[in-house]
Amino acid sequence: MKILITKHIGFCPGVKRAYTMAMNAFDTTSSAVFLLGELVHNHQAVRMLEVKGARLVNAVDQIPEGATVVTRSHGLEKEMRESLLKKGITIIDTTCPRVRKVQLLVSDLEKEGFTIIILGDPDHAEIKALVSELERQPMVFGKDPSDWDSGLSSLSGINKIAVIEQTTFPRLQFEEFNQWLRQKHLSDHCVIWNTLCPETENRQNELLSHLETGTIDVVVILGGRHSSNTRGLYLVARDHAPKTIWVEDPNEIQKEKFQPNQTVLIVSGASTPDQAVKELIEKISSTDDDHE
């Protein structure tokens, strides 16, 4: 069996930065360290912080006064920030710089009078934080094209529209949305900003380049089930690979899924720990030993 590993794998720079900030929190404070929601959408990465002593909570009222809180890398909702400060809580803001850049861009576009369309999951932490920065409610369009058609009437008569996307929105669906705008004769009224994170785009492009060689038999994607960027990788692989396996934990790998003469490509989401990637490689390699 031949095992290939993509160049862009494990933690992306933004997640690595957030994880380092979270780990450093234990050295800079004597108070309890809380995680306000999952730092990243990967249970293994969060579990490593919990083993260190972090306490995972989902609401501000679960955090005592004077504690230290590590926010999600996806961004912190404005109302939550204000509530934390009122309680005298020390905030370690791990918001990815690229996510923060999009927040500033959208705020500026709103001030310039644009109606904002956001492509993304309305329930995702990044989108919630982004929307909280705006004075007016934007239109949030998800991944389902039927949602786009249902929101079409809301765009009637609007001539100044700015379209941005969640930084981890699947590239293929972003392109589909642009095509939809053209079909509905709306593209002339829109300014489209490509706010997809380059790291997300690089991973998708690298995966596609491998698949275009025609030599890959199986793609194994390692990443959280709730990770948007991992889902983007899955969509690329699903549409172009002979066989795609998506696992959140290396222990999910089933040996019978592989054959000794296959070429296997391993890719990972941007919030997948390097250690998990190593464990996955070992698991798949061991299946080759079983065939000998």
Residues recognised as catalytic: 126
Nearest-angstrom CA–CA distance, 39 and 58 = 11
Nearest-angstrom CA–CA distance, 132 and 218 = 41
Contact residues for 199 (Cβ-Cβ < 8 A; gap 6+): 8, 12, 13, 14, 229, 270
Q: Shortest CA distance to 269 belongs to which of 236, 234, 218?
A: 234
Cross-strand bridge partners of residue 115: 161
* Residue carrying structure tokens 């929601």: 37
Consecutive H or E run containing 60: none
Q: What is the largest CA-CA distance in the chain?
A: 68
Cβ burial of 181 (10 Å; 0-12, 13-18, 19+) is buried
Q: What six digits make up the tokens of 102?
A: 């999009």
Nearest-angstrom CA–CA distance, 82 and 80 = 5
Consecutive H or E run containing 65: none
Q: Shortest CA distance to 230 belongs to which of 280, 267, 276, 263?
A: 267
Q: What six digits make up the tokens of 205?
A: 């492009």
Q: Shortest CA distance to 230 belongs to which of 4, 13, 41, 74?
A: 41
Give the CA dihedral 8, 233, 227, 105, nearest 10 degrees: 80
